[in-house]
Structure 1
Amino acid sequence: MTKPRTLLALNWKMNKTPTEAKAWARELAHGYHRGEVELAVMAPAIDLPGLKETLPGGVDVGAQDVSQHESGAYTGEISATMLREVNATYVIVGHSERRQYHNETDAVVAAKARQAQAGGLTPIVCVGESLDVRERGGHVDFTLDQLRASTEGVGPELVVAYEPVWAIGTGRTATAQDAEEMAAAIRGALEGLYGDQAGSIRVLYGGSVKPDNIASICAGPNVNGALVGGASLNVADVIGMNDALK
């Protein structure tokens, strides 16, 4: 099996005004050298108009959430079609922060992923366990159950991001062996869901990824990149991660 192209999905979370986003993009253009790695900036929706044009060539943009509805009376929500029109290629669904703070269920995540695909976006479906689940040894079963429920009715044109909740924004990072173990288990589950197409689905690791650990984390045969949080806000860190994966 040929390993899919490595993807760095840069999740800015609730950071950067439109002015700050363009300044970041211009700074990236000065030091970025396009290589084997695909970069995608997952920016707040308000930053997306115009961001693609400011970024260096070949860098994609995406959103951090999408409505599970196509259109209608859903105040404050943003549809996949709207995001596609402002140049989004990807959208994150089911991030642990959405699950925790907005009570998103696996069924809601699956509905959002289906809408993303219907609107021409590639969903990045996030799954992962809490610390107590890992400590009692149930992390593989928990994550795979979450994956199956969060991809109900979703086609194979997706990305999966494994983000152990205990490693997000805490400074704690799963080891390269931890990341590969779970990515291999996810790959096996994807084979059960999508057959031969599973080999082309990228599996990312997310959780305190930095320039000094990204190469080892992505070295495993089943880890195809990273969903990067805090380090994505600093251009030097992004360039460092990109260069580390050349």
Structure 2
Amino acid sequence: MPLAINSEAPNFLANSTEGMIHFHNWIGDSWCVLFSHPKDFTPVCTTELGVVARMKADFERRGVKIIGLSIDPVEEHERWAEDICSATGQAPNYPLVGDSDLKIAKLYGMLPADTDGSAGARTAMDNATARTLFIIGPDKKIKLTISYPMTTGRDFNEVLRVIDSLQLTARQQLATPANWKQGEDVVIVPSVSDEEARKRYPDGWKAPVPYLRLVEMPY
């Protein structure tokens, strides 16, 4: 079964391109993006890994660690990194976990628990459902999952937008409306009463309907 939002991200110990990763310890007090791949040397994934490497500073400014996972051994990841650099101009500068025994993919519900075999005997199409991105909070709880087909590259600007929204909610009990961007009005969450909202926002708010209370984004 897919992992639900607010469930605990399963912990694991696995080898990566940056050594052994004890996942929860590695996250520490940071936010985390874990994004998975069905096989090394796949075209769309190659572009994604390079783009994330170029955007690493954008994630770091938000206190977010990046970690990738692909269903192949770490030795293959290291060879793949050369192609990623050739194709995109940037090799991965974050750990890429090996999952040749499919253990983590099954732990995260990306492959059925009864899946047989190992990476060597499987094609990318066999692992096509291992195309999920998870945002995990410092509390080790899953805040978002997005699954993509193998033919559609992920939009990491959207991932940053979601992180900005999640962190705003964590800090100030504010939500974000559809298509929200930084600097636009935000929503007072329902758990904040009108009485408490008046204390926080003495200038008031806009309410096109009573339960939709819009205020300027605080800085």
Say whether the fold is shared (TM-score over 0.5).
no
Q: Which has the higher helix share?
A: 1
Q: Which has the higher strand share?
A: 2
Q: TM-score, structure 1 length as denominator?
A: 0.27
Between Structure 1 and Structure 2, whose CA radius of gyration is higher?
2
Q: TM-score, structure 2 length as denominator?
A: 0.30
